[in-house]
């Protein structure tokens, strides 16, 4: 069972890391990066230096505008579903994962959160929520992974 949870955390971490790298390579002043740089200037400088050595993931268009949001929505949904995977059935986990994935984009659409609402982001996030819920469920509850 430990291997499953390690894979689950790796799945979440990789998605978040790729999203952060794409935004960091964009050169834009993302509010989270600005806050992080003020709070932890040395660590921030070191991380941005490290990110500058990564292959360029940032590309204009679809990758810059949608992929980080999709990855973060998927990671959040996977995390929340993973917490409840042994207590709830898949029919209850799917709405939970989808709701988690579209939560922030919906708040943007209603004017309660900063950022730009985009229907494509909302649809992509919804699909990411479904996919990450299914993957998390299969990995943590129904998978036939050999635990050694």
What does pTM read for this prediction? 0.82
Alpha-carbon distances, residue 5 vs 9, 21, 47, 105, 138 (angstroms): 6, 24, 27, 28, 12
The structural domain count of the chain equals 1
CA distance 73 to 67: 10
Q: Quick check: is 147 in a domain?
A: no
Residue 148 lies in a domain: no
Number of neighbouring beta carbons within 10 Å of residue 95: 12
Helices (H), ranges, the chain: 2-26, 31-39, 41-52, 62-65, 67-84, 90-110, 119-137
Answer whether residue 33 is part of any domain: yes
- Note the pLDDT of residue 142: 58
Tell me the residue range of the domain where 90 lies. Answer: 2-142
Does residue 59 fall inside a structural domain?
Answer: yes
* DSSP 3-state of 127: helix
For 47, left (φ over 0), alpha (ψ -120 to 50), or beta? alpha
pLDDT, one tens digit for every residue, the chain (148 residues)? 689 999 999 999 999 999 888 888 887 777 788 899 999 999 999 998 998 888 888 777 777 778 888 999 999 999 999 999 989 999 999 999 999 999 999 999 999 988 788 898 899 999 999 999 999 999 998 545 455 4
């Amino acid at each position: 069972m430990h291997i499953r949870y390690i894979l689950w955390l790796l799945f979440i971490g990789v998605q978040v890391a790729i999203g952060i790298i794409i935004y960091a390579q964009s050169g834009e002043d993302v509010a989270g990066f600005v806050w992080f740089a003020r709070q932890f200037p040395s660590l921030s400088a070191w991380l941005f230096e490290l990110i500058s050595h990564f292959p360029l993931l940032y590309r204009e268009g679809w990758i810059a505008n949608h992929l980080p949001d999709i990855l973060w929505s998927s990671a959040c949904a996977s995390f929340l579903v993973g917490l409840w995977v042994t207590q709830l059935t898949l029919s209850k986990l799917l709405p939970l994962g989808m709701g988690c994935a579209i939560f922030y984009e919906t708040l943007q659409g209603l004017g309660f959160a900063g950022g730009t609402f985009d229907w494509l982001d909302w649809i992509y996030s919804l699909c990411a929520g479904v996919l990450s819920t299914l993957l998390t469920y299969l990995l943590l509850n129904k998978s036939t992974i050999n635990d050694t």
